[in-house]
Amino acid sequence: MRAPEKARAAGSRTAALATAAVFLAFAVLPPLAQALGYGFVTLFATRFMIFAIAAVSLALILGHGAMVSFGHAAYLGLGAYAVGILADAGFSEFYVALPAALLLSGLFALVTGAVSLKTRGVYFIMITLAFGQMAYFTATSLSAYGGDDGLTIWGRTEVFGSTVLSDNTVFYYTVLGCLVAVWLLCRMVVASRFGRVLRAAKQSELRVRAIGIDPYAYKLTAYVLAGMIAGLAGALLANQAEFVSPAYMTWHRSGELIVMVVLGGLGSFTGAILGATGFLVLEEVLSHITEHWRLIFGPLLIIVVLFGRGGLMGLIRGRGRGHG
């Protein structure tokens, strides 16, 4: 085997080990935190995983489809509001709330994506931003559901009448199961013929059309799938916080999701998980040091992007090649 091939193989093995280590760490965290007397860490980790799901959904279209969506947080908010509004109306069963969150997010992604994907480059960024802000201002105008103040949910989603999700540990492992399922789904999508067309369109849409394939339908399907996964994250976030706010939909949140993906490494779903976790950990730590924590975080992000050559996963793969 040639040296470059050996290096790539070593990097792939290291990435696979990193993925296994990430999921194993999440799996053993609750009992370990409880044993050490830091049970509250489980609540933070639950939030980390929820945003990791949203980051993975964005990584699908950003890393593999070159679709830089600045309105992705809208789907997070729509999923959350679907759960919150239904709970307010007395519908708190998961088989009602979850499909509603997925359907609402998917429909919004279908309508807005059909328009947005007619554009490219900065125009795509701006139109997704506009649609995201439209969803945000619509949520703030819902005075019946709290408007700017948000909506409190009195209890988590029920499972066939049971309040089992009210237990934080059960809910934690439910979120972990969703994260693993989303990671596997996105991996399968990218590895399929659909994923190959999506990646080819990222390189050159003209060449894809030249062989008789219209990339628009593939990109729109990926966009809708990403929106629905983000809607799932929103539904979980509403249950975790037992609160829904228009702040979930702001362009700032969309920007943070992009930063998470870039920090972890474009094109890597494990990187998106690491990026989301790293971002939220740094936010939590640095915000206790100064309210201007972004002034510290910004240079750190630049250093990782410049020297990591692929974000955190780039650094991990690089170490694997170095030892290969």
Residue-level length of the chain = 324
CATH of the domain at 97: 1.10.3470
Residue type, 99: P
Domain that holds residue 170: 3-323
* Rounded Cα distance, 127 and 74, in Å: 13
**DSSP reduced 3-state for 135:** helix
CA distance 302 to 311: 10
Inter-residue contact 132 to 252 (CB < 8 Å): no
Q: 236: helix, coil or strand?
A: helix
pLDDT confidence of residue 218: 95
What is the number of domains present in the chain?
Answer: 1
Q: pLDDT tens digits for the chain (324 residues)?
A: 455 555 565 556 777 888 899 999 999 999 999 988 888 899 999 999 999 999 999 999 998 998 999 999 999 999 999 999 999 998 989 999 999 999 999 999 999 999 999 998 899 999 999 999 999 999 999 888 988 988 999 889 999 888 899 999 999 999 999 999 999 999 999 999 999 999 999 888 888 888 889 899 999 999 999 999 999 999 999 999 999 999 999 999 999 999 999 888 888 899 999 999 999 998 888 888 888 888 888 888 777 767 766 778 877 776 555 554
State the pTM of this model: 0.93
pLDDT at residue 324, as a whole number: 47
Alpha helix segments (H runs only) across the chain: 3-35, 41-63, 73-88, 94-116, 121-140, 168-191, 193-203, 205-210, 215-241, 251-264, 269-287, 294-308, 311-323
Determine phi and psi for 182, rounding to 5 degrees.
Answer: -65, -40
Residue pair 203/38 in contact by the 8 Å Cβ criterion: no
Cβ count within 10 A of residue 18: 20
- Burial annotation 290-309 (CB, 10 A radius, 16+ → b, else e): eeebeeebeeebeebbeebe
Task: Classify residue 147 by its DSSP letter.
Answer: G
